[in-house]
């Protein structure tokens, strides 16, 4: 987790990860990163 109090609007966040296949079967590595804007900086449009 990243402390949201330490991130400014124009900050760049870099993420890196090492992936190792620890199983007995050869395969491809797939890394997924999920992010969420808890306090949206863009207002949703209103439906009239």
Among residues 1, 20, 18, which one has the least CA distance to residue 38? 1
37 exposure class (CB count in 10 Å sphere: 0-12, 13-18, 19+):
exposed
Q: Is 6 helix (H, G, I), strand (E, B) or coil?
A: helix
**Tokens standing for residue 43:** 């207002």
Question: One digit per residue, pLDDT tens: the chain, 48 residues?
Answer: 666 677 777 888 888 888 888 889 998 888 898 877 777 667 777 777
CA 47 to mean position of chain CA atoms: 29
């Amino acid at each position: 987790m990243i402390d949201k109090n330490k991130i400014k609007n124009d900050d760049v966040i870099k993420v890196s990860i090492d992936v190792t296949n620890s199983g007995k079967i050869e395969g491809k590595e797939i890394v997924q990163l999920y992010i969420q804007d808890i306090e949206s900086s863009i207002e949703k449009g209103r439906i009239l």
